[in-house]
Amino acid sequence: MSAASQALRTARSTGREIGLTVLERGRWTSYSACGIPYWVAGDVPDPAALVARTPEQHRAAGIDVRVGTEAVEVDLHTRVVHARDLATGHVEHLGFDQLVVATGAVPIRPELPGVWADGVHGLQTLDDGIALLDTLAGRHPQRAVVVGAGYIGVEVAEAFSRRGLQTTVVDQAPEPMTTLDPDMGARVHTQMEQMGIDVRTSTAVDGFEVGPDGWVRAVHVGADTLPADVVVLGIGVRANVALAAAAGLPLGDSGGLRVDRRQSVVGHEGVWAAGDCVESFDRVSQSWRHIPLGTHANRQGRVLGTNLGGGYATFPGIVGTAISKVCDLEIARTGLDERGATASGIAYATGTVDSTTVAGYMPGATLMTVKVLAERGTARLLGAQIVGQGPGAGKRIDACALALWNEMTADDLAMADLAYAPPFSPVWDPVQIAARRAAEAARL
Ligand SMILES: Cc1cc2nc3c(=O)[nH]c(=O)nc-3n(C[C@H](O)[C@H](O)[C@H](O)COP(=O)(O)OP(=O)(O)OC[C@H]3O[C@@H](n4cnc5c(N)ncnc54)[C@H](O)[C@@H]3O)c2cc1C
């Protein structure tokens, strides 16, 4: 919808008319999936609050949005999309001059025994949120198991724990949040345990025990059985490219569609793609990666829409910045972690500091840890990670992200003119101390 709206704006600004049809198999448009865990937690009153623009509003703006309609086949030779009305089964054949693929991602649901039982939820769409809230309201579960300790898993764990459910998070990785290095993930682990959330790492799920009524009642993990009245799966997503691949569009090594800097699908003029279904250029590793985030999808959609509407725009790439939280613990990262640096063949050094969010003598000073990675020899900034009690710990990642974006060294970041007053930070911000340590280590 971001691409469609921008295409319309761009075309109109140059006095041109374009006809835009959007096919959406669901019933909602332009909503914040990112807000779903906070709706489940009770911070957001109802799903309508998460919807930025309804199909009716888009139609009023001049976009022919067809909800409940699935694109089932794309023929690039005849330039026709076959679209099925999911209510009637009727298939319509829509010709096009230009095609946009923005099919998002599909959540991974491993074929384990009992994985389709009632009470085992995914959490990707507003309807998934409605189904989960129905389970919470109708069955009054006491014990919840969250499978996967990535950002969606920890946010759902927060929601359950705040609703008073006894919550266990299971992940096969050695520490939660595998987008962090394990030493930083270990800090998340400890703090989640202190919040009363049971965290089982290095633990793979073997299956789900289902009661005679068809509802989940336990999760099998090795020799252990974890009783569960409700389960949420948060084990990641992959690019939703089945339709595009069947049409012959090219995929990269990461599994996402291959696009150029204008979001045009490589080798296919007049075919565009953006969001969770594409791979993006990572400015730090200089490689194409699949990092499905709303921040990338929105920016890519705008670039795509400008080009589609007859203008010219390029997507400048990503550095892999993300933020999340579990209760008052803020978790943020940007750039390469140790594994990513090694995979990119970059020798690195690290600097870590345990400090406080504000001057230590101020009320409300809470603990935070910052880790910075710098390239050995040059001290080029490679990445940063933050784990700390909020408010105010996690959003410091934006200073690191901007430094990374502008190819600064760790020394540059250590000496940057950042804001200071005691209620906001120590005189040397923890980010700067970690950067200085990383720079020193990089030059050893
Ligand atoms: C619970 C949750 C929390 C998140 N939190 C954050 C966050 O805090 N920060 C962040 O940056 N990102 C977050 N994200 C990720 C973010 O929501 C996605 O990156 C973003 O929605 C991707 O946008 P998109 O348009 O590419 O895909 P989507 O928003 O998934 O849209 C794709 C649409 O295509 C439709 N579709 C697919 N195939 C077809 C077809 N064949 N025919 C018709 N319609 C089709 C789907 O129904 C879907 O509506 C979160 C995601 C979830 C699920």
Pocket of ligand 1, candidates 1, 2, 25, 289: which has the most ligand atoms within 8 Å of its Cβ, to mutate?
25
Q: φ and ψ at 375, to 5 degrees?
A: -70, 135
Name the DSSP class of 405: H
Mutation pick for ligand 1 pocket among 5, 24, 70 (CB with most ligand atoms within 8 Å): 24
- Ligand 1 atom with the smallest distance to the CA of 301 is 25
Flag whether the pTM goes above 0.95: yes
Say if ligand 1 is within 6 A of residue 115 CB: no
Mean pLDDT of 399-409: 98
123 touches ligand 1 (CB under 6 Å): yes
How far away, in angstroms, is 70 Cα from ligand 1 center?
15
Give the mean model confidence (pLDDT) for residues 314-326.
98
Question: pLDDT confidence of 301, banded at 50, 70, 90?
Answer: very high
Helix (H, G, I), strand (E, B) or coil at 13: helix
Helices (H), 250-326: 294-308
- Identify which of 122, 86, 81 has the alpha carbon closest to the alpha carbon of residue 100: 81
- Give the position, in ligand 1's atom list, of the atom nearest the Cα of 105: 30
Please list, in sequence order, all residues whose beta carbon lies within 8 angstroms of the beta carbon of residue 336, skipping any fewer than 6 positions away.
Answer: 284, 285, 320, 344, 346, 348, 373, 382, 383
Strands 280-282, 329-335: parallel, antiparallel or unpaired by DSSP? unpaired
315 pLDDT band, cuts 50/70/90, is very high
Q: 183-230, pLDDT tens digit by residue?
A: 999 999 999 999 999 999 999 999 999 999 999 999 999 899 999 999
**Opening angle at CA 340, ends 338 and 342, nearest 5:** 70
Task: Residue 103: count other Cβ atoms within 10 Å of its Cβ.
Answer: 21
Pocket test for ligand 1, best of 34, 279, 334 (most atoms within 8 A of CB): 34
CA dihedral 183, 186, 187, 191 (to 10 degrees): 180
Percent of the chain with pLDDT over 90: 100
* Ligand 1 centroid, distance to 275 Cα (angstroms): 8
Asked if 222 and 206 touch (Cβ cutoff 8 Å), the reply is yes
C-beta neighbour count of 69 within 10 angstroms: 22
Handedness of CA 421, 422, 424, 425 (dihedral sign): positive
- Helices 182-194, 151-162: crossing angle, 10 deg rounding: 10
Q: Dump pLDDT digits (tens) for 28-52.
A: 999 999 999 999 999 999 999 999 9
The CA 104 to ligand 1 mean position distance, Å, reads 5
Mean of pLDDT over the chain: 97
Residue 169 and residue 176 in contact, taking contact as beta carbons nearer than 8 Å:
yes
Band (80; pLDDT cuts 50, 70, 90)? very high
